[in-house]
A and B are shown apart, each in its own frame.
Chain A
Amino acid sequence: MIANELKKRALELLADGTVARVLGWQPGELEHDWSPALFENAKDMEGFVYGKYAGANLSKYCLKLNKAEGKTLVMLKPCDTFSFNQLLHEHRLNRENFYIIGVGCKGMEDQNGLLLKCTCCKGKTHEIYDEIIDDEEARQPMPEADRFEQVSKLEQMSHEERFEFWRNELSRCIRCNACRNVCPACTCVKCVFDNPNSGIASKANVTDFEENMFHIIRAYHVAGRCTDCGECSRVCPQNIPLHLLNRKFIKDMNELYGDYQAGVGEEERTPMTSYTLGDVEPGIVHERGNE
């Protein structure tokens, strides 16, 4: 178990002053209800845990900690490093404010078993780190699954079926905004949906249109920046498969503008902030997929 190793290393880094605080996980009241937490000294660190219930992506919290004094030690699982790296590309984080330990992951769970996002694992490679702490077991590849399977299935449906499918899903939305608030790509200081002057701020979905619009715009605004971390679907209290909207954008961009994975490697232009002279015309949409 690498939890002890992580704790030991974090204590060393705290002790020698390399970092001022540690961003990790703490256990809850039940077996599975772990929460992200900040640890500032050795006494705090007694409550540190790592294991199969550490599903939350900690990159989002780094936005707040970017302004904190001193370095923050942040523990990132391989898929979380994509989000962190993407935030670096967008200049939302300063690399020098963080010390990153890439932690090994063998798939995360909640009380219902393996998380949905882990069924389409992005692999075991950390995109960015100062050091890696993992073990043999955490390097075992996850079984491969086609992450676009459900998107393709929906594309094959007729328009009426698709409309029915999404009405059924989106009509459950209670506009709690958990999907937006958890998203590491959603970094607007003031969201348009929170701005009373925008004319579209609504705290409830009064009509079908508002349900549709919120979810289209949410997914659209992170298109090209979404690393497919799957947190949106994990946190939805109404079990709406929101990741399908994001994956639809990813699939389209891969097919029309070449394969792209946000959060990988060095800073570069995303499909939505670049173009080529020979791009397809928007009319192509009407020729693809099922009528």
Chain B
Amino acid sequence: MSVNEKTWKPKVVAFCCNWCSYAGADLAGSGRLAYPAEIKIIRVPCSCRVNPMFILRAFERGADGVIICGCHPGDCHYTSGNYYARRRMTMLFSMLDFLGIERGRTRVEWVSAAEGQKFANTMNEFAKTITELGENRKLGDLRCK
């Protein structure tokens, strides 16, 4: 499939923890801070709810980038969920890297409920990175194209 560079917009999935990052996204919204509309937020109870399979399936279904946002380390609503998520995501990202998937398609960012500005900035930056990387070809399901 050819990509028309002028019209192509990346699809980005953001898994946001209910207690911090999702509230951060809310704050970004009520503060009228702009971030790309291509970012689709999926609310999860905690960043450690994100099963590695969720990320793979997001790519399967046509995502070009996946970002996981959770509470800052030490601030988890469930005390330690984000610490586990940190290890899990490190391992998964490393494996994707090992299989030759481009760097930068996956990211973890800690965003608190007070950081609306950080949320918007992170999303703008991430969308830019993904736009530069282009369409996800290596980890998608052709049937979904």
Verify whether A and B have any Cβ pair under 8 Å: yes
**Chain A residues proximal to chain B, CB less than 8 Å:** 154-155, 159-166, 192, 200, 206-210, 212-213, 216-217, 219-220, 223, 245, 248-249, 252-253, 256-257, 271-273, 275-277, 279-286, 288-289, 291
A223 near B103: Cβ-Cβ < 8 Å: no
Per-residue contact bits, chain B 71-96, to A (CB 8 Å; 1 contact, 0 not): 00110000010011011111111111
A-B contact pairs, 14 of them (CB 8 A): A207-B143, A209-B140, A212-B99, A213-B53, A216-B52, A216-B56, A217-B52, A217-B56, A245-B95, A249-B91, A249-B95, A257-B87, A286-B97, A286-B104
* Chain B residue at minimal CB-CB distance from A255: B94
| Bound Cα distance A253, B91 (Å) | 8
- B window 31-86: CB within 8 A of A: 52-53, 56-57, 59-60, 73-74, 80, 83-84, 86
Question: Which partner residue on chain B sits nearest A192 by CB separation?
Answer: B53
Report the Cα distance A281→B87, complex, angstroms: 8
Contact A275 B87 (CB under 8 A): yes
Do the beta carbons of A252 and B94 come within 8 Å of each other? yes
B108 at the interface (CB under 8 A from A): yes
Cα-based distance from A273 to B83 in the complex (angstroms): 10
Report if B107 contacts A (CB, 8 A): yes
CA distance A139 to B83 in the complex (A): 43
- List, in ascending order, chain A residues with CB within 8 A of B101's CB: 159, 163
Knowing A163-B101, A248-B94, A249-B95 touch, does A271 contact B141 (C-beta < 8 A)? no
Alpha-carbon distance between A18 and B84 when the two chains are bound, in angstroms: 44
In whole angstroms, what is the CA distance A236 to B97 when docked? 24
CA–CA, A217 and B73, complex, Å:
26
Q: Say how far A158's CB is from chain B's closest CB, in angstroms.
A: 8
Task: Tell me the minimal C-beta distance from B36 to chain A in angstroms.
Answer: 21
B139 at interface, CB cutoff 8 A: yes
A210 vs B60: C-alpha distance in the bound complex, in angstroms?
9
A81 and B73 CA atoms in complex are apart in Å by 38
User: Which of A210, A220, A273 lies in contact with B52, CB distance below 8 A?
Assistant: A220
Task: Judge whether B53 and A161 touch: CB under 8 Å.
Answer: no
Using a Cβ cutoff of 8 Å, how many contacts connect chains A and B? Answer: 113
Q: How far is the CA of A249 from the CA of B102 in the complex (A)?
A: 18
**Chain B residues closer than 8 Å to A165, beta-carbon distance:** 100
Q: Which of B53, B98, B143 is close to A162, meaning CB atoms less than 8 Å apart?
A: B98
* B73 near A282: Cβ-Cβ < 8 Å: no
How would you classify the secondary structure of chain A's contact residues: helix, strand, loop or mixed?
A: helix
Smallest CB gap from A166: residue in B = B99
Interface residues on B, range: 35 or more
B138: interface (CB < 8 Å): yes
Say yes or no: is B1 at the interface (Cβ < 8 Å to chain A). no
Least CB distance from A147 to B in Å reads 16
Q: Is the CB of A217 within 8 A of B53?
A: yes
Chain B minimum-CB-distance residue to A284: B90
> B93's contact among A155, A276, A282, by CB below 8 Å, is which?
A282
Contacting residue for A279 out of B83, B142, B143, CB 8 A = B83
Nearest 5 Cβ contacts at the A-B interface: A163-B100, A162-B100, A275-B83, A285-B93, A282-B108
Contact check, B99 vs A163: say whether CB atoms are below 8 A apart. yes
For B142, the closest partner residue in chain A by CB is A207
Question: Taking the nearest CB of chain B, how far is it from the CB of A274, in angstroms?
Answer: 8
Cross-chain contact B90 with A282 (CB below 8 angstroms)? yes
Chain A residues, Cβ within 8 Å of B86: 275, 279, 281-282
With contacts A209-B139, A248-B94 taken as known, whether A166 is within 8 angstroms of B56 at the C-beta atoms is no
Contacts of B57 in A (CB 8 A): 200
> Is the beta-carbon distance between B83 and A285 smaller than 8 angstroms?
no
Task: Check A212 against B141 for contact (C-beta < 8 Å).
Answer: no
Is A223 a contact partner of B91 (Cβ separation < 8 A)?
yes
B92 CB to nearest A CB, Å: 7
B139 near A159: Cβ-Cβ < 8 Å: no
The one of A166, A207, A286 in contact with B100, judged by C-beta atoms closer than 8 angstroms, is A166
Q: Indicate which residue in A164, A207, A272, A280 contacts B88 across the interface (CB closer than 8 Å).
A: A272
In the assembled complex, how far is the CB of residue B29 from the closest CB belonging to chain A, in whole angstroms? 26
Could you tell me the distance in whole angstroms from the C-beta of A256 to the nearest C-beta in chain B? 7
